[in-house]
Chains A and B, each alone.
Chain A
Amino acid sequence: MPHLDPQQRALAINKLLSLGQLDLLRNSSGLLYRMKDGQGASKMKGSDNQEKLVYQVIEAQETKKPLRESCVWIWSRDIRFKSNLPLTEVNKILKNLESKKLIKAVKSVAASKKKVYMLYNIQPDRSVTGGAWYSDQDFESEFVEVLNQQCFKFLQSKVDLSMDDIETILNTLIYDGKVELTVIAAKEGTVGSVDGQMKLYRGVNAVLLPTGMVRTPCGLCPVFDDCQEGGEISPSNCIYMTEWLDF
């Protein structure tokens, strides 16, 4: 814009910046100005510079998305470092932005005390929320148990079945010893095959009945190691044995 002199330009640019119509960016040759689109401008209307700054920091995380999938969020501490604002200010601003529904806070699964901020319209990803097994940051153990039982019942009635999404649940059934896994060679293109193999699950019975040792009180005794003839705890005065004998 050669027809304006530098001072007027600077004034105009500053005014536009404060109105939020312009973005200020720096590149290797100097400063660059970019027109913000209308929607972006309306979003920040009524916010002051500091809020805009914090918002920009959080937004910057989003643009990093293609490079690092899991890092679309940012901690409040990092916001403070990047914006150089004092803690109280940052907190106030974050509260404001949250109430304007521009950002949202999500409690991290890994460290439940820390809050993590991201733009309002993106989905928190798996590493933060823990995936399907977490709801509101609590491990849905009941949910897991119920699915566990249901899968087991389902498999008991069917013989061959291949599952994709619930593989982890099925693995826990394997570890429970109720289900076993065989891998068979399958043609590419059949449902559920991965790399020419298919995993089949089958409900099985236990190999052994509960062994003899655990049918006695000593097998389950919590003070087994302290039990000595002639001591405080001994077979002669064992209360567990008395109960068991009178059963």
Chain B
Amino acid sequence: MTAQEVRLCGLLLQEHFGEMVEKVGTHLLKSGAQNLRMILHETGISLDLLKKSLCVLVQHGACVFSSGRKGPGSPTEYRTSCDRILRILRYPRYIYTAKTLYGDTGELIIEELLQRGHMTMSSTVKTVADRLTQNMEDGRSMDYNDVSNSFSNLVETHFLQRCPPPPRAGPKESATPAPHPVPGTPTPLISTALPTAESFPDCYKVPHVTLTGRGKRPLSSEDVDDQRNSKKAKMDSETHGDEGICWQVNFERFHLHFRDQAIISAVANKLDQTSSEIVRTMLRMSEVTTSPSATCTKPLSANEIFRSLPTNYNIARPILDQYLTLLVDDPMEFVGKAGESGGGMYVVNMHRALANLARATLESVVQERFGSRSARIFRLLLRKRHLEQKQVEDFAMIPAKEAKDMLYSLLSQNLVQLQEVPKTPDYAPSRTFYLYTVNQLPTARMLLQNCYKTVANLIERRLYESKESKRLLEKSQRIEAILASLQASGAEPEQLTEVEEMITAPEKQQLDALRLHINKLDSAENQVDETIFLIESYVNSTKTTS
């Protein structure tokens, strides 16, 4: 948990859940696992608010609780981790992916689940159907079955999973936020490792739910009071057979999808469209058979690949073999050959591909920041590992003075390291070799921290811009509200134009500029998040292999 990560998590929590939750969250991040009394004492928030904040964090999976360190009788402890909170940055990407794969229904399902944290299937389906019906033309509404089908599809491809049951035999969960456990209640002894969602056999089983009906439109104001009473009664009496089974978004599955996408687009950039289609087919075939942290996919025979190619790609068998050979010979080593049976067994090298993508990212950062000649030196050092000053100049064909300058600026930014190799035990400078070198993993880690800082900077700038124009924004909101109410109650066009003119032209210009700025900052956050994803995947892949 570095300082940059904590700062970014704090900003994300504040934006999505408010100041109170942010306070509790950052406190837990900085101090590790603590029980309720200690948090109460150290943050000084009232017990009520504290309980609510913890509820919110637990609901979203950001905070986990377990029995205390001192044994079964001690109060429960809560702990947060940065990873889950940093995922909030990636929400737009998840929603967009769901939209491309499963259409609007899928998009809304994922959006609802991301906003609520945990939800039962029935309540998700109902809410999504209502939202979809709102946007449809009058007279049409969304059937629950369609939404349920989309939901089941998402579960089948493992994008959604069941929440793990809480680590205590306590009151059953309902569709509303998980009940906050009261400290001091005796709990059964559990193992220190918290079970993940995947350790339960039913985690991808869709429950048998009786859900019939269609989405409802929002009611107009007169009917609300009557409906509210009757609706409440209806809600209580309707049970759909899936109480207590909550669902959450499976982030790891989305990450696998993003990783596959990155590999496919890299192949498309480097070679051509057909090769990327072949790699896409191979990855699709090994989606469910490969574990997330595997170094490479299971070997696939060329026959299988040929059969599974999409039908609109009519390439002949020998041409497929040529393409596969080309992919295997490529220095990037995306695809490797694992045997000769079945016409040749091929694997996709995940870890190697991730390492190459991370290396390309580092090179691109050096190129943009320091220039193409420094990038040349950087790539040279990555290839040749250790080089002396003179050798760098010779290989890179850069004049000595400039090469020295560039090496020193790279060294000052810690992108390049100096390794001393002494000839004599006394490390005398005249009798030591000084070799320049680049270590990919530590440099990647450093870049990752820089990315976190960058995103935090972008968020802060966005908040600052909104704060500066707060007065203007409030004014425009008021005017919009007035306009809307005037339109609803049927006003004449002159009144409308009069109200619109309350915003002067320069103010309008300022508002437009503000909107542009905020959009730019938002999209920049998403772009930096792409870099974060690549480097995080690379760093995590080295953790499992080392």
- Contact in complex: A213, B365 (CB < 8 Å): yes
Indicate whether A218 sits within 8 Å of B453 (C-beta atoms), given known contacts A176-B379, A211-B530, A213-B531.
yes
Which residues of chain B from 499 to 546 have any CB-CB distance to chain A below 8 Å in the complex? 513, 516-517, 520-521, 524, 526-531, 534
In the docked arrangement, what's the CA distance between A172 and B377, Å? Answer: 9
Distance between B24 CB and nearest chain A CB, rounded to angstroms: 21
Which residues of chain A from 27 to 69 have any CB-CB distance to chain B below 8 Å in the complex? none
In the docked arrangement, what's the CA distance between A177 and B454, Å? Answer: 27
In the docked arrangement, what's the CA distance between A139 and B403, Å? Answer: 12
- Contact in complex: B399, A216 (CB < 8 Å): no
- Contact in complex: B270, A210 (CB < 8 Å): no
- Chain A residues positioned under 8 Å from B375 (CB to CB): 176-177
- Contact in complex: A236, B269 (CB < 8 Å): no
Contact mask for chain A residues 141-155; partner B; CB cutoff 8 A; 1 contact, 0 none: 100100000000000
- Contact in complex: B451, A213 (CB < 8 Å): yes
Nearest residue (CB) in A for B458 is A216
Nearest residue (CB) in B for A133 is B397
A208 at the interface (CB under 8 A from B): yes
In the docked arrangement, what's the CA distance between A140 and B68, Å? Answer: 71
Contact size range, B? 35 or more
- Contact in complex: B531, A177 (CB < 8 Å): no
In the docked arrangement, what's the CA distance between A238 and B524, Å? Answer: 16
- Contact in complex: B368, A235 (CB < 8 Å): no
B331 at the interface (CB under 8 A from A): yes
B471 at the interface (CB under 8 A from A): no
- Chain B residues positioned under 8 Å from A11 (CB to CB): none
B266 at the interface (CB under 8 A from A): yes
Indicate whether A236 sits within 8 Å of B520 (C-beta atoms), given known contacts A175-B383, A204-B270.
no
B364 at the interface (CB under 8 A from A): yes
- Contact in complex: A236, B461 (CB < 8 Å): yes
Distance between B182 CB and nearest chain A CB, rounded to angstroms: 38
- Chain B residues positioned under 8 Å from A234 (CB to CB): 460
Distance between B379 CB and nearest chain A CB, rounded to angstroms: 5
B450 at the interface (CB under 8 A from A): yes
Nearest residue (CB) in A for B464 is A236
In the docked arrangement, what's the CA distance between A118 and B500, Å? Answer: 90
- Chain A residues positioned under 8 Å from B356 (CB to CB): 207
- Contact in complex: A214, B368 (CB < 8 Å): yes
Contact pick for A218, options B270, B399, B458, CB 8 Å: B458
- Contact in complex: B530, A212 (CB < 8 Å): yes
Which residues of chain B from 255 to 275 have any CB-CB distance to chain A below 8 Å in the complex? 266, 269-270
Binds B, one of A12-20, A121-129, A185-193, A219-227: A219-227
A180 at the interface (CB under 8 A from B): yes
Most buried by A among B513, B520, B524: B524
Distance between A148 CB and nearest chain B CB, rounded to angstroms: 8
A116 at the interface (CB under 8 A from B): no
B447 at the interface (CB under 8 A from A): yes
- Chain A residues positioned under 8 Å from B521 (CB to CB): 245
Most buried by A among B380, B395, B457, B530: B457
Nearest residue (CB) in A for B451 is A213
Indicate whether A238 sits within 8 Å of B397 (C-beta atoms), given known contacts A176-B376, A218-B453.
no
Contact size range, A? 35 or more
- Contact in complex: B365, A171 (CB < 8 Å): no
A157 at the interface (CB under 8 A from B): no
Indicate whether A177 sits within 8 Å of B369 (C-beta atoms), given known contacts A213-B447, A216-B527, A235-B460.
no
A25 at the interface (CB under 8 A from B): no
- Contact in complex: A212, B380 (CB < 8 Å): no
In the docked arrangement, what's the CA distance between A236 and B521, Å? Answer: 13
Distance between A130 CB and nearest chain B CB, rounded to angstroms: 10
Contact pick for A220, options B332, B369, B377, B460, CB 8 Å: B369
- Contact in complex: B397, A208 (CB < 8 Å): no
Indicate whether A214 sits within 8 Å of B270 (C-beta atoms), given known contacts A229-B460, A241-B461, A245-B517.
no
A4 at the interface (CB under 8 A from B): no
Indicate whether A219 sits within 8 Å of B363 (C-beta atoms), given known contacts A176-B376, A235-B460, A245-B517.
no
In the docked arrangement, what's the CA distance between A208 and B357, Å? Answer: 7
- Contact in complex: A218, B331 (CB < 8 Å): no
A7 at the interface (CB under 8 A from B): no
Distance between A139 CB and nearest chain B CB, rounded to angstroms: 4
A99 at the interface (CB under 8 A from B): no
In the docked arrangement, what's the CA distance between A214 and B397, Å? Answer: 26
Distance between B433 CB and nearest chain A CB, rounded to angstroms: 19
B361 at the interface (CB under 8 A from A): yes
Contact pick for B363, options A172, A177, A205, CB 8 Å: A177
Contact pick for A219, options B332, B357, B454, CB 8 Å: B454
- Contact in complex: A208, B364 (CB < 8 Å): yes
B329 at the interface (CB under 8 A from A): yes
- Contact in complex: A207, B399 (CB < 8 Å): no
- Contact in complex: B461, A219 (CB < 8 Å): no
Indicate whether A205 sits within 8 Å of B270 (C-beta atoms), given known contacts A169-B397, A215-B527.
yes
- Contact in complex: B454, A213 (CB < 8 Å): yes
Which residues of chain B from 369 to 420 have any CB-CB distance to chain A below 8 Å in the complex? 369, 372, 375-377, 379-380, 383, 395-400
- Chain B residues positioned under 8 Å from A180 (CB to CB): 331
A1 at the interface (CB under 8 A from B): no
Known: A171-B395, A182-B331, A236-B464. 4 other contacts (CB 8 A): A180-B331, A210-B368, A219-B450, A224-B453
What are 17 inter-chain pairs, A to B, with CB distance below 8 A?
Answer: A169-B397, A172-B395, A172-B396, A207-B360, A208-B266, A209-B269, A210-B364, A210-B367, A211-B530, A212-B524, A212-B528, A213-B527, A214-B368, A216-B524, A219-B369, A227-B453, A229-B460
Interface, chain A (partner B; CB < 8 A): 133, 139, 141, 144, 168-169, 171-172, 174-177, 180, 182, 204-216, 218-220, 224, 227, 229, 234-236, 238, 241, 244-246
3 smallest beta-carbon distances between A and B, as pairs: A212-B527, A214-B368, A218-B454
